[in-house]
Amino acid sequence: MTVAMADLLAGFAFFLILEGLVYALAPRFLVRMARLLPSIPPEQLRLSGLVAVTLGVGIVWLVRG
């Protein structure tokens, strides 16, 4: 397995860990947020997603160089 593939799988594993923690530790909060999502304008959701992607790429860039 190449280093890039191992990094990709490790990143996916961390995603699953964090996602699982949300479901395990705060299921009621997750349900409330799911009910709230339809009331949020698509533009705001899109902007939030783009900010999250930008932060994630920035952190990876800082850590990995």
Q: What are 5-36's pLDDT values in tens digits?
A: 888 899 999 999 999 999 999 999 999 999 99
Task: Determine what percent of the chain is predicted with pLDDT higher than 90.
Answer: 78
The pTM of this model reads 0.71
**Structural domain boundaries in the chain:** 3-64
Per residue, the 3-state secondary structure of 25-63, as one string, reads HCHHHHHHHHHHHHHCCHHHHHHHHHHHHHHHHHHHHHH
pLDDT at 12 (0 to 100): 93
Enter the tokens of residue 8.
Answer: 């990709």
Q: Within 13 Å of residue 59, how many CA atoms lie on the same side as its CB?
A: 7
